[in-house]
Structure 1
């Protein structure tokens, strides 16, 4: 380097910022206690069948979040007797899994505090600390894998896809529900509109890229279904009418209407003839 050239400052560690935001949001348990969520769930909800023209109750909000889990479970094979949830949170999703199909249900979360809460909430489940890109389970252990509103936090969707393929048995089914960016060009505007993207809590993963990563990992029948019509307006109505709406962005509907992001149900199958 030319001695006359001043040394450059190191590039900002966005991964560290992201990790700090995850800790702040989930380790304390405060996020699940915000009125925008409720019932121990932490998702935007699936509002189909819930009238939006009148008042909304806390029971409506919890029902919308449970319905999102049901949507994902309906997309999985009903005969699977072993299920793994990535981003298990406080364990209420595992309770939903066990209610629908009493069987082996395991969960992984990056935050040890969340794993402790999940063990208390769903003692019949198996919960472990781990990341989506390094799952603490053996090859081919599970017939079904789900993730509800967690993939927007995953650092590396390719690593997640490879690990999902590894822990699923041949013929195993995957279902992921969350919001994805329309494409890479949407990232700057999403950061301008929504604080969770600006802070680095949520990552603007393009939906097309995620589908590519699943195919590269060996999955077949890869498909993405937009379910945003049953997510965004219900969420926005809740933020308008529900308690403490000022504590959460109302630009999600704006971003969706501008085509910057959408809520998707993504499904894929590990081919039956593939190795474990």
Structure 2
């Protein structure tokens, strides 16, 4: 692994003192751009619609995963654990593990979900660790989820290898995230000019093929990709419009999408039996 699982400083700041989950644009404790397909964007969108968009992104990822009844689920990059709680509440998972590299995020997650953690037998737990070096046993999970976290992972091949290791035979990974549309070497510079999070290194610009190739190289099969940018970027941009003008950097995610630089995808793959 490139960095031994060390937390990058931009990630430490954004999810520690920066506490992105507490920002109004990430209402409800989720930290994702949202999946807006079922939300009417012809008029203003409020806090309830924003929370639903984030929940619906998890629902879309879960539907793509084909989560088995009473299965064991791992979420990589769980943040405050809101997605973990949704899996327990709506999909009947037997147990859910949330993994995150940031101790402050995990402290907040444990505080937020104390009632679930105290149940007997426990169905939810949180573990600190890097996506590239998971402190978890082999073949422990039926499903691995990751929602809008892969842009922070410094080593996608190591993440793919760990995903394949912790999945049971027949298990599936389902991931949502944003990637460049191709491997043009100029894409990182283009994104750095448009978006502060790429300029400061919080988000890492990589092509979708970097992930799909990594999955294939570790033996995962049935790798499938779905572009969902049309259901993500317009709604996200409309939500941001209440705080930022069209020419400010947070609004440039939509510009990058329309210029054919960046898109949002769900990616699924299976560990062979």
TM-score normalised over the length of structure 1? 0.89
C-alpha deviation, 1:35, in angstroms: 1.5
C-alpha deviation, 1:208, in angstroms: 1.0
The corresponding residue for 1:119 is: 110
Deviates further, 168-177 or 100-109: 100-109
Q: Say if 1:106 and 1:29 are closer, same or farther in 2 by CA, change over 3 A.
A: farther
Could you give the per-residue CA deviations for residues 176-226 of structure 1, whole angstroms, max 9, x where no partner exists? 001011233211100100000000000012101210010001100001100
Distance 1:47 1:130 in 2: 31
C-alpha deviation, 1:36, in angstroms: 1.2
C-alpha deviation, 1:85, in angstroms: 0.3
C-alpha deviation, 1:29, in angstroms: 5.7
Q: Say if 1:250 and 1:18 are closer, same or farther in 2 by CA, change over 3 A.
A: farther
C-alpha deviation, 1:245, in angstroms: 3.2
Distance 2:82 2:260 in 1: 31
Asked if 1 retains the 8 angstrom alpha-carbon contact of 2:172 and 2:268, the reply is: yes
Matches within 5 A, 1:48-67: 48-67=37-56
For 2:78, which of 88, 108, 113 is the aligned residue? 88
Deviates further, 255-264 or 96-105: 96-105
The corresponding residue for 1:151 is: 150
The RMSD of aligned alpha carbons is: 1.9
Could you give the per-residue CA deviations for residues 32-80 of structure 1, whole angstroms, max 9, x where no partner exists? 1111111000000000021111111111100000000000111112315
Distance 2:222 2:111 in 1: 36
Distance 1:195 1:216 in 2: 32
Q: Answer yes or no: is 1:104 the counterpart of 2:103.
A: no
C-alpha deviation, 1:19, in angstroms: 1.0
The corresponding residue for 2:203 is: 202
Q: Say if 1:94 and 1:157 are closer, same or farther in 2 by CA, change over 3 A.
A: same
Aligned residues: 256
Asked if 1 retains the 8 angstrom alpha-carbon contact of 2:7 and 2:102, the reply is: no
Dislocated runs of 4+, deviation >4 Å: none
Note the residue ranges of structure 1 that are not aligned, 5 or more in a row. 1-13
Matches within 5 A, 1:168-247: 168-184=167-183, 185=185, 186-241=187-242, 244-245=243-244
Q: Say if 1:107 and 1:18 are closer, same or farther in 2 by CA, change over 3 A.
A: closer
The corresponding residue for 2:59 is: 70
Deviates further, 206-215 or 71-80: 71-80
Asked if 1 retains the 8 angstrom alpha-carbon contact of 2:148 and 2:176, the reply is: yes
The corresponding residue for 1:257 is: 258
Asked if 1 retains the 8 angstrom alpha-carbon contact of 2:195 and 2:249, the reply is: no
Q: Any idea what SS the aligned residue of 1:152 has?
A: helix
Distance 1:210 1:237 in 2: 29
Asked if 2 retains the 8 angstrom alpha-carbon contact of 1:18 and 1:201, the reply is: no
Could you give the per-residue CA deviations for residues 236-264 of structure 1, whole angstroms, max 9, x where no partner exists? 111113xx336961000000011111000
Asked if 1 retains the 8 angstrom alpha-carbon contact of 2:67 and 2:143, the reply is: no
The corresponding residue for 1:10 is: none
Distance 1:75 1:198 in 2: 32
Distance 1:40 1:170 in 2: 33
Q: Answer yes or no: is 1:162 the counterpart of 2:161.
A: yes
Asked if 1 retains the 8 angstrom alpha-carbon contact of 2:77 and 2:147, the reply is: yes
Note the residue ranges of structure 2 that are not aligned, 5 or more in a row. 118-122
